Structure formats: structure tokens, C-alpha cells
Structure 1
Amino acid sequence: MEADTAMKTLSPAELDQAKLDPGSVFERPDEVLAASLTADDKKTILLRWEEDAEDLMRATGEGMPPEDNRRTPAELLRAVQAALAQLAAA
């Protein structure tokens, strides 16, 4: 899949939504890095996504399948952690 190179600009309402539920605003964690946001906002969104992915992993381990079948919770967690590492290195 080819990454969208255009910088996504969020409205204040979209930013608030992304901080609560990143997956409802972004398809992939790397899209957060490309968005026109402050580093602090990117970190906040990615950390929330990391928490959500960890929760999904626990739920899956307890026999509750994830609603999102695009990737496993472990794949999502790896993608979020890779985005966080890129952000920290920037």
C-alpha cells in the first residue's frame, strides 16, 4: 500500500477525537507522523494508540477477537511503537 504523502490537517474537533480514539481519525500510526500537528500532539495520540493496542492484546488473549480485522493487535502495537521511535528520533 502506498503511503499518502499529503500532510493531514485536523480541525480542533478531529484533534480531540484523535486523542481519544486515534483509529477513528487515522488508518495507520505512521499517518500521525505525517500530519500537521505539534510533536506533543503526535506523541499524545501515539501513546493513546499504544494503550489501545495493549488493551486489544489483553482482550484477544482472553478470547475476545478484535473488531478490526485489518491487522492483529500485535502488528498494530509494533506499528505504533515504530512511529513513537521515529518521533523520538526526529
Structure 2
Amino acid sequence: MKTLSAADIAQAKLDPASVFHGPEDVLQASLAPEDKKSILLRWEEDADALIRATDEGMEPSDNRRSPGELLAAIQAALETLEDGA
């Protein structure tokens, strides 16, 4: 389980992809549930924006996952978090 510094947590809340490889990693991190939810919700906003940009013809800079796959993974992680609460 990854332990994060306060600075890492603050950074993750601004730009989750800069701290975590994928939404699944947020669930595995040693964080309070409300921090996990906050990070995942921010990531969901970012993925929604990426989908809109892609629909407008802009190419995503991160080719690890398509924006749709990323959004699905984030939503699955949020569901897992809610089910565990």
C-alpha cells in the first residue's frame, strides 16, 4: 500500500494522474476514504474534459488508456469505494 506525503495528497487532488498510474491505485493508497473520493471525483472531471476535447478533434497526450476507458475505470473505482463505505 502506497503511503503519501501531505504534499502528494494535495498534488493528487489537483492532478491525480501526476501521482497515480490509474484509478485503481487510488483505492490501494493509504488514504482516508474522503480523500480517495475527492481524488477520484477530480479525476472524473479531468476525464470528462478530455472526452470533450477528444470529441472536438484534440488528441489526448496520455496514450495509456482511451478517455472512455479511463472514465469507466474511475467510475468503477468510485463504485468500489462507495460499496466499501
Q: For 2:54 and 2:16, locate their aligned partners in 1 and report how far apart those are by CA, in whole Å.
A: 19
Provide the TM-score with structure 1 as the length reference.
0.93
- Give the superposition deviation at 1:54: 0.3
Alignment correspondent of 2:78: 84
**Selected match of 2:34 from 37, 40, 45:** 40
Q: For 2:60 and 2:68, locate their aligned partners in 1 and report how far apart those are by CA, in whole Å.
A: 11
- Give the superposition deviation at 1:78: 0.2
Structure 1: runs of 5 or more not aligned: 1-6
Provide the TM-score with structure 2 as the length reference.
0.98
What amino acid does structure 2 have at the position aligned with 1:68? D
Q: For 1:41 and 1:70, locate their aligned partners in 2 and report how far apart those are by CA, in whole Å.
A: 24
Q: Which runs of 4+ in 1 moved over 2 A?
A: none
- Give the superposition deviation at 1:37: 0.2
What amino acid does structure 1 have at the position aligned with 2:72? R
Report % sequence identity. Answer: 65
Q: State the number of aligned residues.
A: 84
Q: For 1:20 and 1:33, locate their aligned partners in 2 and report how far apart those are by CA, in whole Å.
A: 17
Q: For 1:8 and 1:44, locate their aligned partners in 2 and report how far apart those are by CA, in whole Å.
A: 17
Structure 2: runs of 5 or more not aligned: none
- Give the superposition deviation at 1:22: 0.2
SS at match of 2:20: coil
Q: Counting helix residues as a fraction of each chain, which structure ranks higher?
A: 2
SS at match of 2:39: helix
- Give the superposition deviation at 1:11: 0.3
Deviation track 1:46-90 (CA, whole Å, cap 9, x = no partner) reads: 000000000000000000000001110000000000000000000
Alignment correspondent of 1:28: 22
SS at match of 2:63: coil
